[in-house]
Amino acid sequence: MRIARSVLVLLVVALLVPLQSGRAAETTLVILIPSDVANLDPAFCMDNVEWRQTYVAYDRLVQYDGKSTKVKPMLAESWDISPDGKVYTFRLRRDVKFWDGTPLDANAVKFSFDRVQKMGKGPSEAFTALSEVKVIDAYTVQMVLRHPFAPFLSCLATNGGGIVNPKVMRQAKNGDLAHEYLSTHLMGSGPYKLKEWVRDQHIILEANPNYWGGKPKVSTVVMKIVPEPGVQRMMLLRGEAHIAEGLLIEQIQKLRGEKGIVVVEEPSQYCCYVYINTQRKPLDNPKVRQALAHAVDYQGIIKSVLQGCGTQMRGPIPTGMWGHSESVFQYQRDVAKAKQLLAEAGVEDLRLKILYSDRVPTWAQEVMILQANFRDIGVKLEPEMYAYATMRDKIDRGDFDLCMGVWMPDYADPYMFMTYWFDSTNFGLAGNRAFYSNPKVDALIRKAAVSTSQPERERLYLDAQKIIMQDCPYIFLYQKNYLLAMRSNVKGFVYNPMLTNIYNLLDMWIE
């Protein structure tokens, strides 16, 4: 009888172990997304929700290094930059193949970048400095720039830098460079392929078992389209999905502490700030601009508008971007200081107008807070809401006192902030929406834009920021935090501020 009972116990254990192992070896990741995507052509799409699918399908010459905005080798094992900063020579890995077995070589690299430039759509804007791509040999490619452009390596890490199988040209129609085909298909060498796309229902990716970087642990990724945040929340809580992208801030906050749920919160590169028209009197006086910056209740805005899910900016280069420095001056609410600065500027009974639109839902609330803050220092702020197109036209013409603004960089380089926001040749929608001009700042940021030494560029940008924060051409409000709710058994996810809504699927697994 004892022997029989022992055998029975062993049988039960044997039956249970596969079930437990099955749970541990779960290989299908379900991600809830609020809406469908429009296009999958890497030479066309500019939206991160589209990059979510394409970024893991195509390899690039370089890639972001984990959480960092710095780049490291990917397809390119190494590279050299000419002394004049205009010629980049890349030596490629020799073990990379497209999904159909075709070797990924220098010709494929040239084809892909030539195609991006011929298409001339959004992704091509990152490569305006690129003059020519030369094939030196099968695994050596050279990129020649029209002029030195320090952020070039960072541009190569964008979605537009993905290398496409040249055989896609067999699908070309009427000179479209296979755009119609690539709008709904993928032809890369990356760790994931497109298995199925059913409009407004789901997108399914399957692992590439022969990926040169190693076989992915997650074999299938299902992007399930669920528009309703409430439904997403319940599916996540019930374990019917692993990640929910479309939740509201208040829903995510309530999920904190729920068993089996984790909330990822990191500073993003989404920056909210106020343009000050430095060409208009009395805003042409730095003391007046400093007074306005000291009047703002930054923490109050973050607490009430973002429910605490934000970080006050410290200078123009945000946290998470290389070149950011905690030594840069940061304005704090100081009503007495603000009043003193206005008195020193000889300004009384100041009346200002602030532009905004309904394009960004938080702007209306933020304007109301600014209105109250400025009232405390004797400044009357009059809100003016316009249609977004009208607002942009007024910005471009400099027809405003103050204006709400948001910004996200296209590539991971301080150039996206320092040159766009402060170079005096970029007035208006080109980027410098404060119409700010300082020859010393121009000299520093222009030198940084052509230097190929990152330490030197960091020094130049720090010197420029010290001047800028005293000149105060903008009121730097906050960086919006990235929030994502997921099941606690999802492991290996790393958030990169340049890759919001994009997952490092190759490194992820499910316990």
Q: What is the pLDDT of residues 66-111, one digit of tens each?
A: 998 889 999 999 999 999 999 999 999 999 999 999 999 999 999 9
Q: What is the mean pLDDT of the segment spanning 322-336?
A: 96
Q: What is the mean pLDDT of the segment spanning 399-421?
A: 94
**What pLDDT is stored for residue 137 in this prediction?**
98
pLDDT tens digits for 181-197?
Answer: 999 999 999 999 999 99
Q: What is the mean pLDDT of the segment spanning 498-505?
A: 92
CA distances to 127, 321, 432, 476, 492 from 285, rounded to whole Å, are 38, 30, 18, 18, 50
Least confident of 25-29, 98-102, 153-157: 25-29
**What pLDDT is stored for residue 246 in this prediction?**
86
Report the C-alpha gap between 53 and 503 in whole angstroms. Answer: 9
Enter the pTM of the model. 0.82
CB 497 within 8 A of CB 322: no
Q: What is the mean pLDDT of the segment spanning 297-323?
A: 94
The 10 Å CB-count burial string (b at 16+, else e) for 83-92 is eebbbbbbbb
pLDDT higher than threshold 80 for residue 3: no
Residue with the bigger pLDDT between 12 and 419: it is: 419
- Residues whose CB is less than 8 angstroms from the CB of residue 400 and which lie 6 or more positions away in sequence, other chains included: 275, 277, 353, 354, 355, 394
Report the C-alpha gap between 141 and 109 in whole angstroms. Answer: 8
Report the C-alpha gap between 363 and 404 in whole angstroms. Answer: 7
- Which helix (H) or strand (E) segment is 340 a member of? helix 335-344
**What pLDDT is stored for residue 25 in this prediction?**
56
pLDDT band at 14 (very low <50, low <70, confident <90, very high): very low
**What pLDDT is stored for residue 47 in this prediction?**
79
The packing angle between helices 415-422 and 439-450, to 10°, is: 150
pLDDT higher than threshold 90 for residue 384: yes
Q: What is the mean pLDDT of the segment spanning 276-298?
A: 98
1 class by beta-carbon count within 10 Å (0-12 exposed, 13-18 middle, 19+ buried): exposed
**What pLDDT is stored for residue 381 in this prediction?**
98
The overall average pLDDT reported for the chain is 92
